[in-house]
A and B are shown apart, each in its own frame.
Chain A
């Protein structure tokens, strides 16, 4: 016995370790427990009742949270909308916004692509496309500056004063589709350096006064952007698309290109940028979407 062990000390040691490992992973036979029948019945009754209460709570929760249209289709005619529901769903949205902020890094660049990877980009104006008449008299107004003045710039001021940066990045829509597009424009950061905002400013409000609703009526677009994102090296005030000056479909003559945010933050035909210390209003956040839209 001992001589055998001496001859194969390695093999024996290995097999013991293997056995231990196998035992660790092996399914163990269930342990049989003896219980008083009455006690078992009592526990069963408790758990089944608890389960039933949970099922009722889940149904009530569904009734509380589901959209009115869904409930109507299910035959629930009574309006279940309440401030509590809005508050609760907004909480969930806030948590997601906080996660987006936590994930954001000013140093992280978004992926860039080559010209062969470019995909078509549709005109996704939410309403009607504005009449190009506005372009000839277009000016960009800057407000909330440290100088206390309001500045007006035309497109020649912008393109001649600032160097243009090219980038091919993906634009991602909240609906789920995306497009890889080739842009050129000045860096938002360069504009901020040239016209510094008031010292306590943390937010930019980017507006387009030429935006229209689906019926062609004026529907000014306004969008909040935190200054950290505005200063990201890939955040552009784009003037060119596919090597050509922007067309009216893509927000001529100047649009925001902020690839770390959803497409709806990429305001077309910007007419005004104002700086604020407090978070300004946001067109889509007021319509039930997230406020930060960080991706």
Chain B
């Protein structure tokens, strides 16, 4: 190798050869995070298929259609009012055809649900192991100032699109932790919801052998209602989670794939000091 070239690259631009990074996510956290995508999708889709066979929310059968399922009502309403859906042949099944594996496949849906549920529990343990090994659990703990800070972040997110439209400056609230208070609340509550989903799931699945668990949750029927509504926590979490990760840029997404980030300080601090 020509010596001149080597000297040039090491002495004049050393910062180009080396780069400072910080570890963001432990290997096990990243693996369990991404494995959760197919597992949760499988749980939600098979779960709504199972819901079809005995809906939690029912009313007296409709005199003309015989329908008693509120979810089917929503499908009927959508097909009647949304342009383009008018010719949909199976309006009571619209919800199940689009948000689940499909109606009328209880045995298959149950098998997939058990498969995903056991995977979800194992994956949850992998996630906790990753949090402990990487020390990431500390960043998720709620703080005393979180309520106020979360409100500030909420105000920032709500105002952000309007500020952009009006071309006005809209300052990101300042924080010097890995996550802001709103992120912390979200990333803390989703694993809690996961534990509750597992607990309510067991209470429904084994209501006799684990009848004490069903009793804690308010009985078998209450556990079914809890289990159903916990599903919506994941959906409510997922929508802003996806939008904000994509809005935040490649570094954030990359850090969940490869583990490290080149943002050495929390982004808000950098933005503030510029």
Contacts and interface: CB of A to CB of B under 8 A. Distances in A.
A261 to B, nearest CB: 9
A104 B258 contact: no
A31 B110 CA distance: 46
Contact of A289 (B45, B107, B135, B224): B107
A31 B10 CA distance: 25
Contact of B19 (A37, A58, A173): A37
A30 interface: yes
Given A54-B34, A93-B114, A176-B54, A33 B258 contact: no
Interface in A42-69: 43-44, 47-48, 51, 54, 58, 61-62, 65-67, 69
A242 to B, nearest CB: 21
Interface stretch (B78-86, B154-162, B207-215): B207-215
A32 B19 contact: no
A196 B107 CA distance: 35
B17 A32 contact: no
B272 interface: no
B20 A34 contact: yes
A31 B122 CA distance: 30
B107 A288 contact: yes
Contacts of B208: 108, 110-111, 172, 259-260, 295
A30 B22 contact: yes
Interface residues of B, number: 57
Contacts of B105: 67, 69
Contacts of A66: 101, 112
Contacts, number: 147
Size bracket of the A interface = 35 or more
B26 to A, nearest CB: 13
B238 interface: no
Contacts of B60: none
Nearest to B119: A92
B20 A173 contact: no
B54 A173 contact: yes
A205 to B, nearest CB: 21
Contact of B209 (A90, A95, A260): A260
A170 interface: yes
A102 B264 CA distance: 50
A73 interface: yes
A215 interface: no
Interface string B117-136: 01000000000000000010
A294 interface: yes
B264 A32 contact: yes
Contacts of B75: none
B16 interface: yes
Contacts of A38: 17
Nearest to A67: B108
A90 B115 CA distance: 10
A105 B221 CA distance: 23
A175 to B, nearest CB: 4
A90 B114 CA distance: 11
Contacts of A33: 20-23, 260
A103 interface: yes
Contacts of A48: 254, 257-258
B43 interface: no
B20 A175 contact: no
B111 interface: yes
Residue from A28, A30, A289 whose CB has the most chain B CB atoms within 10 Å = A30
B138 A65 contact: no
Interface string A251-277: 000000001100000000000000000
A141 B30 CA distance: 60
B177 interface: yes
Interface string A171-193: 01111111000000000000000
Interface of A: 25-28, 30-38, 40, 43-44, 47-48, 51, 54, 58, 61-62, 65-67, 69-70, 73, 89-90, 92-93, 95-96, 100, 103-105, 108, 110-111, 170, 172-178, 259-260, 287-290, 294-295
Interface of B: 16-24, 34, 37-38, 42, 45, 50-51, 53-54, 56, 97, 101-102, 105-112, 114-115, 118, 135, 138-139, 141, 177-178, 204-211, 215, 220-221, 224, 254, 257-260, 264
15 contacts: A27-B177, A34-B18, A37-B19, A40-B260, A43-B258, A44-B254, A61-B38, A62-B42, A65-B42, A67-B105, A69-B101, A95-B118, A170-B220, A172-B208, A294-B209
What 6 A-B pairs are tightest by C-beta distance, nearest first?
A288-B107, A30-B22, A176-B54, A92-B115, A175-B53, A175-B54
Given A28-B138, A67-B101, A295-B205, 6 more contacts: A35-B19, A36-B17, A47-B259, A48-B257, A111-B215, A176-B204
